[in-house]
């Protein structure tokens, strides 16, 4: 079996190299035709996608539509609409030093790309990068996560229906398959997943000097100061934190709340949890499940020795884990050191802004950063002071939905960004070209060189 997979990878890699070399992916019309076919097939298989997401993560139809298929379809529409404009050679101002010349940038596809995706939004996080790669003229081998196997299967069927395997192929499997894929030389790798595996990807890519985009995780803080309106803040926090059972890379990881409003906010969060998912969230159709045993066990263990002020209920049968609030966990506990990636919300109070800075000191750069406050100056100061992937004031998670903004991390939360135009750029080498004519050269260009260096220096600096 293992050898069979290795052979399959070998054959696919060769096939995709030949497909790209044929230059068929170079034209806009071919790319647009394929993107249209992909959208049509996604719409045709919509029910199967929702069913698969239900089986893998117990996602509601509403969440499957809003956070998975709609975002992908929107991305396809944007690529189809904008590709002719984005893929035009882009004129650049010429330098007088090269006078006369015509300078421009060609958008060159990298070539054969590898996309590795996670299980938490298993459709959207696999297909959105793929759409960018196709729009930019690349071939793609996609490896979806083994922890969302039903969704992986549907994705594989959709791609097989739309694409020649030389253009796009899906290889299902676990880490061993990803390792085998990484041994091949790719022209670009896009990985979405944990920081730990991101390091493995970066090392493997370095072997071949392959450029990569790493979409990773981290502990995204959420600061609530005493000017924030309690009800609206709690409502938006509960939505952002417990969507997909807390398994969202940009979910608020922990709360830093001004002590004046901590009790009130905590009570309102509990009220909003009950309003959204009922007294017993296990019975709610809108509340998801933890993806797999290892993650379920890790989340359970992380609660040990903490003061649980709400929730903490679990059911191992189907990996139910209730929305859980933890009061003032120690900053050096596992809960406050590692990304939670589940429905546990630590609530920590602060008195002064200096205390916030103390808590952030020495922490890695998060993927997201949230502030709830009516104080404009406070918001501006924090956004400017700290480094993070992307920030939102007075809401959470919504940054993902705006494809006019780059989405990505920095430092431990990743490198590179995508969505909309940034996806096209992500999968494109911007190739600068200068076209000169033969009729003129700047005097003094060739040896023997002129002796009046100061005049030459002046000209070179100012032309
Ligand atoms: P993961 O890193 O465990 O797995 C991601 C992918 O990597 C899977 O396809 C998996 O099969 C593969 N993989 C596992 N071991 C590998 C190895 N040794 N070599 C190569 N590939 C390997 O992540 P996950 O558990 O699927 O997802 C959760 C993590 O992803 C969280 O940290 C979360 O924050 C992050 N995430 C980030 C984003 C983002 O956009 N930045 C989005 C979703 C999730």
- Pocket lining: 146 vs ligand 1, CB cutoff 6 Å: yes
Domains observed in the chain: 2-216+414-430 (3.40.605.10), 221-408 (3.40.309.10)
Mark residue 244 as left, alpha or beta (left: phi above 0; alpha: psi -120 to 50; beta: remaining).
left
Question: Is the shortest distance between the CB of 179 and ligand 1 below 6 Å?
Answer: yes
- Averaged confidence pLDDT in the chain: 96
- For residue 198, give the ligand 1 atom closest to its CA: 2
**CB-CB contact of 434 with 98 (8 Å):** yes
Residue 102 pairs in a beta bridge with: 435
Q: Please, what's the largest Cα pairwise distance for the chain?
A: 87
288 Cα: distance to centroid of ligand 1 (angstroms): 19
- Cβ atoms of 247 and 239 within 8 Å: the answer is no
pLDDT digits (tens, 9 = 90+) for 22-75: 999 999 999 999 999 999 999 999 999 999 999 999 999 999 999 999 999 999
Helix axes 149-162, 28-44, angle to 10 degrees: 130
Q: For residue 218, give the ligand 1 atom closest to its CA.
A: 34
Does residue 390 have its Cβ closer than 6 Å to ligand 1?
A: no
Nearest CA to ligand 1 atom 36: 193
Ligand 1 centroid, distance to 117 Cα (angstroms): 6
Helix axes of 28-44 and 46-57: crossing angle, nearest 10 degrees:
70
Q: Count CB atoms within 10 A of the CB of residue 82.
A: 14
Is residue 139 within 8 Å of 25, Cβ to Cβ?
yes
According to the model, what pLDDT value does residue 452 have? 79
* Secondary structure class of 408 (helix, strand, coil): coil
| Burial class of residue 203 in the structure, from the number of CB atoms within 10 Å of its CB (0-12 exposed, 13-18 middle, 19+ buried) | exposed
Q: State whether residue 287 is helix, strand or coil.
A: coil
Q: Are 204 and 285 in contact (CB under 8 A)?
A: no
Cα separation, 320 vs 343, in Å, equals 10
Decide whether any atom of ligand 1 lies within 6 Å of the 288 Cβ: no
**Dihedral angle computed from the Cα positions of residues 49, 53, 55 and 56, in that order, rounded to the nearest 10 degrees:** 130
Pairing status of strand 314-315 against strand 320-321: antiparallel
> Is residue 249 within 6 Å of ligand 1 at its C-beta?
yes
Alpha carbon nearest to ligand 1 atom 14, residue: 175
Query: What is the structure's pLDDT at 453?
Result: 83
Ligand 1 within 6 A of CB of 217: yes
For ligand 1, atom 43, name the residue with the nearest CA.
249
Specify the ligand 1 atom closest to the Cα of 217. 34
- Judge if the beta carbon of residue 178 lies within 6 A of ligand 1: yes
Per DSSP, the residues of 112-136 read: EEEEE--SSSTTHHHHHHHHHHHHT
Q: 207 exposed, middle or buried (CB, 10 Å; 0-12, 13-18, 19+)?
A: exposed
Q: How many CB atoms lie within 10 A of CB 285?
A: 11
- The reported pTM is 0.95
If you take atom 35 of ligand 1, which residue's CA is the nearest one? 193
Phi/psi of residue 327, nearest 5 degrees = -90, 125
pLDDT at 2: 63
Q: Which segments of 377-427 are extended strands (E)?
A: 390-393, 414-415
Catalytic positions: 215, 249
CA 278 to centroid of ligand 1, rounded, Å: 31
> Which residue stretches of the chain have pLDDT < 70?
1-2
Which residues 6+ apart lie within 8 Å of 39 measured at CB? 73, 76, 77
Residues in the chain: 463
Residue whose CB lies within 8 A of the most ligand 1 atoms, among 116, 118, 200, 297, for a mutation test: 118
Ligand 1 neighbourhood includes 192 CB (under 6 angstroms): yes
Residue 450 pLDDT: 83
pLDDT of residue 299: 97
Q: 366-397 b/e with 16+ CB inside 10 Å = b?
A: bbbbbbbbeeeebbeebeeebebbbbbbbebb
Rounded CA gap, 79 and 380, in Å? 33
SS3 347: strand
């Amino acid at each position: 079996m293992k050898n069979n997979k290795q052979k399959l990878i070998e054959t696919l890699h060769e096939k995709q190299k030949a497909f790209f070399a044929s230059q068929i992916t170079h034209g806009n019309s071919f790319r647009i035709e394929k993107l249209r076919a992909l959208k049509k097939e996604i719409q045709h298989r919509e029910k199967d996608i929702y069913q698969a997401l239900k089986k893998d993560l117990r996602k509601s139809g509403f969440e499957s539509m809003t956070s998975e298929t709609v975002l992908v379809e929107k991305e396809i529409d944007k690529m189809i609409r904008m590709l002719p404009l984005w893929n035009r050679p882009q004129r650049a101002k010429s330098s007088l030093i090269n006078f006369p010349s015509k300078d421009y940038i060609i958008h060159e596809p990298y070539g054969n790309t590898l996309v590795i995706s996670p299980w938490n939004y298993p459709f959207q996080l696999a297909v959105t990068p793929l759409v960018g790669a196709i729009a930019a003229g690349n071939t793609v081998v996609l490896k979806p996560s083994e922890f969302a196997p039903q969704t992986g299967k549907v994705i594989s069927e959709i791609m097989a229906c739309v694409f020649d395997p030389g253009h796009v192929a899906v290889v299902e499997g676990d880490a061993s398959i990803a390792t085998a894929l990484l041994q091949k030389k790719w022209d670009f790798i896009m990985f979405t997943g944990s920081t730990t595996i991101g390091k493995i990807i970066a090392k493997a890519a370095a072997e071949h000097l392959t450029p990569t985009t790493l979409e990773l995780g981290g502990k995204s803080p959420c600061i609530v100061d005493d000017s924030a309106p309690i009800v609206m803040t709690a409502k938006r926090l509960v939505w952002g934190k417990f969507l997909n059972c807390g398994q969202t890379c940009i979910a608020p990881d922990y709360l830093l709340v001004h002590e004046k409003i901590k009790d009130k906010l905590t009570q309102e969060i509990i009220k909003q949890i009950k309003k959204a998912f009922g007294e017993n969230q296990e019975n709610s159709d809108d509340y998801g499940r933890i993806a797999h045993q290892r993650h379920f066990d890790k989340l359970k263990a992380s609660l040990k020795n903490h003061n649980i002020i709400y929730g903490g209920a679990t059911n191992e049968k189907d990996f139910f884990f209730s929305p859980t609030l933890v009061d003032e966990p120690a900053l050096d506990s596992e809960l406050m050191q590692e990304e939670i990636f589940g429905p546990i919300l630590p609530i920590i109070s602060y008195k002064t802004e200096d205390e916030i800075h103390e808590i952030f000191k020495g922490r890695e750069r998060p993927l997201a950063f949230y502030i709830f406050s009516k104080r404009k100056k406070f918001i501006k100061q924090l956004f400017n002071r700290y480094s993070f992937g992307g920030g939102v004031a007075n809401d959470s998670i919504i940054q993902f939905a705006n494809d006019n903004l780059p989405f990505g991390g920095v430092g431990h939360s990743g490198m590179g960004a995508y969505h909309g135009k940034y996806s096209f750029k992500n999968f494109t080498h911007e190739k600068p070209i200068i076209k000169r004519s033969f009729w003129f050269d700047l005097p003094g260009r060739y040896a023997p060189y002129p002796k009046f260096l100061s005049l030459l220096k002046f000209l070179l600096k100012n032309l």
